[in-house]
């Protein structure tokens, strides 16, 4: 029989309230920085956009297979998107109202994969 020790970490209410979004890399998306300096983060699991003045912190939890992302600080706006297509509408709306300072290039993975394997005959 082996002895086990248990450790407890106390998190104050202030620290808990400070976390706007914490999600695995599989479900985290980043839309970019708008013209007013706000960052647009997406929780892919709930299809929700979080607008904050801060970038996400990337970290690797112990024994995790993927990186996680944590957004702390002030929350400017939350937008629950009904469908995946609504993300394009959100991007267009922000472009018309605030503009984009830093907008990541959208990668169509299916298209890239198809181009990579064009001509394969299996």
pLDDT digits (tens, 9 = 90+) for 45-80: 999 999 999 999 999 999 999 999 999 999 999 999
In the chain, what percentage of residues exceed pLDDT 90? Answer: 62
Average pLDDT over residues 23-41: 95
Of 76 and 121, the structure prediction assigns the larger pLDDT to 76
**Most confident range, picked from 9-13, 29-33, 116-120:** 29-33
Write out the two tokens for 76: 């400017």
The edge-to-edge listing of strands for the beta sheet with 68-72 is 19-24, 68-72, 57-59
pLDDT computed for residue 84 by the predictor: 75
Q: Is the distance from CB of 97 to CB of 77 less than 8 angstroms?
A: no
Give the contacts of 26 (CB within 8 A, at least 6 positions apart). Answer: 44, 66
Contact criterion met (CB below 8 Å) for 77 and 51: yes
**Confidence at residue 83, expressed as pLDDT on a 0 to 100 scale:** 87
**Rounded to whole angstroms, how far apart are CA atoms 58 and 71?**
9
Q: What is the pLDDT of residue 108?
A: 53
* 40 vs 121 pLDDT, higher one: 40
Q: What is the pTM of this model?
A: 0.72
């Amino acid at each position: 029989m082996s002895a086990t020790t248990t450790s407890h970490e106390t998190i104050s209410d202030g620290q808990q309230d400070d976390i706007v979004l914490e999600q695995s890399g599989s479900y985290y998306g980043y839309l970019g920085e708008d013209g007013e300096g706000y960052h647009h983060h997406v929780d892919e699991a709930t299809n929700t956009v979080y607008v904050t003045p801060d970038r996400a912190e990337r970290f690797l939890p112990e024994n995790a297979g993927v990186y996680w992302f944590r957004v702390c600080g002030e929350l400017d706006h939350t937008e629950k998107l009904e469908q995946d297509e609504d993300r394009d509408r959100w991007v267009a709306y922000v472009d018309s109202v605030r503009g984009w300072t830093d907008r990541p290039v959208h990668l169509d993975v299916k298209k890239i994969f198809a181009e990579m394997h064009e001509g394969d005959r299996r």
